[in-house]
Amino acid sequence: KAYDIKEAQVDQIQPGLMRQAERFFILNQIDNLWREHLQSMDALRESVGLRGYGQKDPLIEYKQEGYEMFLEMMIDIRRNVVYSLFQFQPQMQPQAV
CB 34 within 8 A of CB 73: yes
Give per-residue pLDDT as tens, 30-89: 999 999 999 999 999 988 888 778 788 889 999 999 999 999 999 999 999 999 999 998
Hey, what's the torsion of the CAs at 57, 59, 62, 66, to 10 degrees?
A: -140
Q: At what angle do helices 17-48 and 2-13 cross, to 10 degrees?
A: 120
Identify each DSSP E strand in the chain by its residue range: none
Give per-residue pLDDT as tens, 15-27: 899 999 999 999 9
Instruction: Give the global pTM.
Output: 0.81
pLDDT of 97 > 70? The answer is no
CATH node for 23-87: 1.10.3060.10
